[in-house]
Amino acid sequence: MKRIPVLLDLNRLPDDIRPIAEGAPAFDSSCSKEARVVYLEKEGGLFLKSAPKGALEREAVMTRFFYNKGMAAEVLHYSSQEQDWLLTRRVPGEDCIHANYLADPKRLCDTTATLLRKLHEVDPAGCPVPDHTAGYLATAEQNNRTGLFDTHLFTPEWNFSGREEAWQHLQAHKHLLQTDTLLHGDYCLPNIILDDWRFSGFIDLDHGGIGDRHVDVFWGIWTLYFNFGTDAYRERFLDAYGRDVLQPELLRVIAAAECFG
């Protein structure tokens, strides 16, 4: 996690957050243009995220749900005014792109695969996003209408010759997707926190909900491909996760949907 010292404008913070942030060393640790993340060196570490109004609502409710299951950070504050603010406690440890974890790719592959299987066995009852699949497909449909199409991140096995092939593949097979499993929704190495190889928690849960397990499996394989520059860990990941509940052909359906994501 990068940490660049910054000065916070306390006057812009919500009233509940201002006294917490006052006097705390602050470091920018943002990793996207969509949201700003500031690490506050106080009370064991706090993360303050800000984004456009409404952008952090789903992350807040899903993080609370995962926290109650012992799998995420504690949410200390969420508000939506001119913009959204989300304050959470730091999860002990480091994310999985830390050098110590990347140095042992086979162990990292096995660890993230088995953690994902454990997540998918958690009872999803009471999840505040009960139908991830419907929203997932609706997003693909909307982006197809607006012309969004991108395959440059995918491995050759999951690639498509063009937009029409990907769309037809998704339309022909989308009925196979289930809505029965608690998902992270963005199961990538930076969103998995380990403490000396022991699971500590998940972060960035804004795409979580009850959906089809193959969404997370797809991203679990992809993140290894992206970070190591090879597709060599695909089969190992599937073995460690457990093939008994998988339909490998659905991974290509997910790839088709993600072309429009």
CA–CA distance from 5 to each of 13, 14, 21, 26, 39 (Å)?
Answer: 18, 21, 14, 6, 9
Cβ–Cβ < 8 Å for 113, 220: yes
Options 84, 186, 212, 216, the catalytic residue: 186
Q: Provide the sign of the torsion angle of the four alpha carbons 237, 239, 242, 248, taken in this order.
A: positive
End-to-end CA, the chain:
26
Q: Determine whether 8 is exposed, middle or buried from the number of CB atoms within 10 Å of its CB (0-12, 13-18, 19+).
A: middle
Q: What is the DSSP string of 142-188?
A: HHHHTT----TTS-GGG--SSHHHHHHHHHHHGGG----EEE-SS--
Is 239 considered catalytic here? no
Number of H helices, E strands in the chain: 9, 11
Catalytic positions are 186
